[in-house]
Amino acid sequence: MKNTKKNLLIILGMTLSFQSVMAAKDFSEYPDVYPFVPQSVDEIYSDVATVTEDKNFVKNFNEIVNEELSKAATKVKPWSASYWPLSKGTVADPYTNNSVGYFLDAGWIAWKTNYKNLKKRRSTVHKDIYNLTEKELSRLSPTEKYDVLLGDKTFDLTRRVADYMNDWGSKKMNAFITDLRLVDENALELANKYISWGWYNNADEAFAKDYELQGSLSVENALMLVKMGKYENVADAFPEAVEMAQEQEGNYVLAKQSSFMAGWEGICNGWSTAAGIVPRPTKSISFKLPNGKNLKFYPSDIRGLTSLYWVNSFIQNNLETDEQGNYQRGGTVSAGKRCNTDAKEDEWGRLYDSEDDPFNGLNFVTGKRDARCSGVHPAKWHLGIVNLIGKQGRSFIVERKVGPAVDNHPMSSYEMKYFNPNTGETEGSVDSKIVEIDGNDQFKRMRHPHAKYIVGVETTMIYLNYLTPSREDETSEKDDKDVDKTMMYDLELDENYDVVGGQWRAVKIGKPKRVKRPGSKIRKKEKRNHNQPDFFWAVTKNWKETGLFDDNTGLEEWKDKTTAPPASYAANAKGAHSLMVYQKYSYNAGQKCNMVDQTTGKLRAVSCEKEINKPQPQSNILNVLIERAK
């Protein structure tokens, strides 16, 4: 305990020292949300240690170069697959064997038609399932094949996957609300509970500051009545506040949701997490059904069912461990933040938050809002990729571009080249590219106070792209779709050459120039490099210990795995199909839902709770599919 207290004091001292140095810098000319001011080394290293799960990660630039970590590939290459567009019903879609237009479907318009077609199959294809020929069976969707293998005539998994598509398309997150706290009659009781826990000094403070209590009409009315002087405290005001809220309640309705569906929406986070861990499905496999017919699963079918399992697994939640480091729940670790708004360019052509992001926090050092739309911090990115792929040989997931859309891909390799950050020179030794910070540094005023040197970096990341599902019997690495993206940044090094910061660069040096395009008299700003990732994340290296992918125990023995499983599996599988995610405040997972005052049009973020069905295939079935298709 003494050592712990000592370490905390050291960290606090370093943080306060960083704060005091940064306080002397002038950030007044920057927008309210600006990304290119320094972050503390503690924050950078903490995020890298978290995402790599390695307290002894490599952070020294010379060590990175000398250990030949400037170029590396994962020990096992991830596999390409579809992101299974939600507008098509993800893996409930009986895809065609034609790549033309698969990812070009105007899902934001056509998803309703797609859903009607899926629903129509219930009274046609599903009803006549056992009269289909083997060729017709082979053309079913991945979930339909799974249901047939189980002997489930209700097509439970297929229905749930398709219905989720319809629920989301029709009402978005409003489709899953189970509780709205517009009038919270228990708010005072909850506030007193928080007071007993030492979170707040009194109910007035709790009403004003607590996230869960905010948004309630009864809470807001109580604060207003006290402010008007009618009552001395919110406890006395609360009974009248509740009565007022009950009268006001009828004015509010849930904010209308768009009925459009984004073309990028799908289960890319399921594919991208599984692709770097689950053995590559390379061949088709068949099962003999009770009626004597063969049911074929193609590699694409198995990749789709695997992606569905992983996207709806609790592995997608943040990893939580106890004080001893023992696994508790979840399974992902990350660095960076999602951009939720449009980004603009600064004078150097770099992206930054053009407006205040609703999820931004206040940076305690600069007094500015933390940035979300400039890409993950380059020092975190550099150290993350070097340690995850270079040192550990593991794949991770990159959200490859800045913007509101999420576009996850599994990483497979990278290569780094270095340049002089003041001149752009690439020739010569690595040492010649490391320069001392002086007046020639275009970002000198933005450097970390511990930074002494800078070095320019061009990093090419290679990741796996989407692959149209196909009915091919065999696939291999040659069928993968690799994509390479090169980005530019510099790294800040301290006197020991440890990485302590860095800056993204849209052009190698200077600011974007006006250049003439061939055959044109018009001078346009030169092309800017915006390839920096939004954020990146990884599945815990101890993912097997989570138990989330183990077979269910106590089931009847499945002796011949070239035939359908025992009939008893169908009843057990319903538990996986009906997996529910409970977003409740008692689980520290409560949400905010927008309601609108019909008389004023004003929005109100109200505390709410949700229950979302996240259907999965049964692990026993899926694990057999994966094992046989290797």
CB 179 within 8 A of CB 609: yes
Residue type, 235: A
3-state DSSP call for residue 254?
Answer: strand
Return the closest-CA partner of residue 493 out of 66, 63, 70, 7: 63
Q: Which residue has the higher pLDDT, 523 or 4?
A: 523
pLDDT band at 294 (very low <50, low <70, confident <90, very high): very high
Instruction: Tell me: pLDDT of 591 over 70.
Output: yes
- How far is residue 295's CA from residue 298's CA, in Å, rounded to a whole number? 10
486, β-bridge pairs:
460
285, β-bridge pairs:
297
pLDDT band at 322 (very low <50, low <70, confident <90, very high): confident
For 229-245, give the DSSP string.
TS-SSHHHHHHHHHHHH
CB 172 within 8 A of CB 257: yes
Lowest mean pLDDT across 26-35, 82-91, 420-429, 608-617: 26-35
pLDDT digits (tens, 9 = 90+) for 553-585: 999 999 999 999 999 999 999 999 999 999 999
Based on the number of CB atoms within 10 Å of its own CB, is 321 exposed (0-12), middle (13-18) or buried (19 or more)?
middle
C-alpha dist (Å) from residue 630 to 211, 283, 302, 303, 453: 49, 7, 10, 11, 49
* Residues above pLDDT 70, as percent of the chain: 88
Buried b (16+ CB within 10 A) or exposed e, 549-562: beeeeeeeebeeee
What is the helix (H) or strand (E) element at residue 597, kind and residue range? strand 591-597
pLDDT at residue 326 in the model: 86
Residue type, 169: G
- How far is residue 433's CA from residue 455's CA, in Å, rounded to a whole number? 6
Residue type, 61: F
pLDDT digits (tens, 9 = 90+) for 362-406: 555 555 666 778 889 999 999 999 999 999 999 999 988 887 677
C-alpha dist (Å) from residue 261 to 235, 429, 628: 45, 51, 36
- How far is residue 418's CA from residue 457's CA, in Å, rounded to a whole number? 5
Q: Which residue has the higher pLDDT, 200 or 4?
A: 200
pLDDT digits (tens, 9 = 90+) for 262-273: 888 999 999 999
* Residues above pLDDT 90, as percent of the chain: 74
Tell me the whole-structure pTM to 2 decimals.
0.88
pLDDT at residue 462 in the model: 97
3-state DSSP call for residue 288?
Answer: strand
pLDDT band at 144 (very low <50, low <70, confident <90, very high): very high
pLDDT band at 12 (very low <50, low <70, confident <90, very high): very low
- Give the helix ranges, DSSP H, for 172-267: 187-196, 203-209, 217-227, 234-248
- How far is residue 267's CA from residue 276's CA, in Å, rounded to a whole number? 15
- Give the helix ranges, DSSP H, for 53-186: 61-66, 107-120, 134-138, 142-150, 156-171
CB 172 within 8 A of CB 255: no
Q: Which residue has the higher pLDDT, 351 or 238?
A: 238
Report residue 291 as tokens: 């009626």
Lowest mean pLDDT across 35-39, 154-158, 579-583, 592-596: 35-39
Look-up of token digits 């199959």: 121
Look-up of token digits 């320069």: 435
* CA 210 to chain CA centroid, nearest Å: 26
- How far is residue 84's CA from residue 95's CA, in Å, rounded to a whole number? 10
- How far is residue 233's CA from residue 191's CA, in Å, rounded to a whole number? 13
pLDDT digits (tens, 9 = 90+) for 92-128: 999 985 554 666 655 556 899 999 999 999 999 999 9
- How far is residue 169's CA from residue 180's CA, in Å, rounded to a whole number? 21
Q: How do beta strands 343-345 and 71-73 pair?
A: unpaired
3-state DSSP call for residue 492?
Answer: strand
pLDDT band at 446 (very low <50, low <70, confident <90, very high): confident
- How far is residue 233's CA from residue 9's CA, in Å, rounded to a whole number? 38
Q: Which residue has the higher pLDDT, 520 or 377?
A: 377
Residue type, 432: S
Q: How do beta strands 482-493 and 499-505 pair?
A: antiparallel
The rounded mean pLDDT for the chain is: 89
Instruction: Tell me: pLDDT of 622 over 50.
Output: yes
pLDDT at residue 109 in the model: 65
Instruction: Tell me: pLDDT of 360 over 80.
Output: no
pLDDT band at 258 (very low <50, low <70, confident <90, very high): confident
- How far is residue 279's CA from residue 365's CA, in Å, rounded to a whole number? 45
Q: How do beta strands 294-297 and 453-464 pair?
A: unpaired
* CA 543 to chain CA centroid, nearest Å: 17
Rg (CA), the chain: 28
Biggest CA-to-CA distance, the chain: 81
Based on the number of CB atoms within 10 Å of its own CB, is 418 exposed (0-12), middle (13-18) or buried (19 or more)?
buried
Angle made by CA atoms 388, 389, 391, in degrees to the nearest 5: 75
CB 403 within 8 A of CB 337: no
Return the closest-CA partner of residue 378 out of 301, 446, 430: 446
Return the closest-CA partner of residue 219 out of 206, 207, 211, 210: 207
Instruction: Tell me: pLDDT of 158 over 60.
Output: yes
pLDDT at residue 30 in the model: 56
